[in-house]
Copies of this chain bind each other. A is one copy, B any other.
Amino acid sequence: MQRQNKDLSKAARLTLEVAETLFASKGFNAVSMNAIAQQAGVSKANIFHHFKSKQGLFMAVLKTACRRSASALHKRDDLTAISPLVRMHDFFTSHLQKLLEQPESTRLIQWELMENSEQRGKQLAEEVFADTFASVVELVAEAQAQGFVKADIDVSLLAYLLVGANVFFFETRAVLKHMPGVSFADSAEHYSAAVFQLLAEGFEKSTSI
Interface residue ranges, A against B (CB under 8 Å)? 26-27, 29-30, 85, 110-111, 113-115, 117-118, 121-122, 124-126, 129-130, 133-134, 137, 147-151, 153-154, 156-158, 160-161, 164-165, 167-169, 171-172, 174-184, 191, 194-195, 198-205, 207
A182, closest chain B residue (CB) = B156
- Is B118 in contact with A174, judged by CB distance below 8 angstroms? yes
Chain B nearest CB, measured from A181 CB (Å): 5
From B27, B148, B157, B175, give the contact of A125 (CB < 8 A): B175
What CA separation (Å) do A92 and B148 show in the bound complex? 27
From B182, B183, B200, give the contact of A202 (CB < 8 A): B200
Chain B nearest CB, measured from A167 CB (Å): 7
- Is A203 in contact with B27, judged by CB distance below 8 angstroms? no
Query: Which residues of the other chain, B, contact A124 by a CB distance below 8 angstroms?
Result: 175, 178
From B137, B175, B199, give the contact of A113 (CB < 8 A): B175
Query: Which residues of the other chain, B, contact A205 by a CB distance below 8 angstroms?
Result: 147-151
- Is A195 in contact with B161, judged by CB distance below 8 angstroms? yes
